[in-house]
Chain A
Amino acid sequence: MRTKRRVGGSADRVPLVRLAHARSGDKGDTANVGLIALEPGYYPVLVKQVTAARVARHFKGIITGKVERFELPNLNALNFLLHGALGGGGTLSLKTDAQGKVFSTALLRLEIPVPQGLLE
């Protein structure tokens, strides 16, 4: 798997799995993903780069509703609500992941630009 690529010599692109851990769950047809920085120094990068719009693009075609984002600087975490993510949700859903348990790692596939040297 490609994990690192130069962009214009000023930034690297890395998948979120190298910057954060995550847990997800459900509320009806909405999945939530809590994204937690692996190091406090990564949190400002997550705040800047992992916008609701970028997450919505990442999940385009997979979710049918909008994406909301909330900040928890005290926990170095962001919380995302992915609406229309679970095929009706709860017992109505036919999906393997009817309760959105692994939307967490699906988000960790997202690649974002990070300042050069951040991971060194």
Chain B
Amino acid sequence: MHEMSLAESVLQIIEESAQAQNFQRVRTVVLEIGRLSSVEPDAMRFCFDSVMRDTLADGAELQIIETPGTGRCLSCGTEVEMLEKYGLCPYCDSPHLQITAGNLMRVKDLVVE
């Protein structure tokens, strides 16, 4: 996946928020990253630090909330937990699983001063 581009998207969201909400420094960035979103949290941490350098979020703490993946089997209708984006329904072996949660990646909150 592409954590460098995504970390740069985080910075842009922060800079736009800084203009709209009138703040100069960011202490903490809270990201919500779904289990099925294809973002590696460790890679994101690495990219985050390098992208935020010399910006208003330099040195900011990155908190990542990892949300679980869930899906619905289109064959038997059961709600199932999904650890991967693909797989077979544990109840009926169908591959027709529709993701219902856990594919988001977004900036949730900022702690600013």
Decide whether A and B are members of one complex: no
Binding site for B on A (CB under 8 A): none
Binding site for A on B (CB under 8 A): none
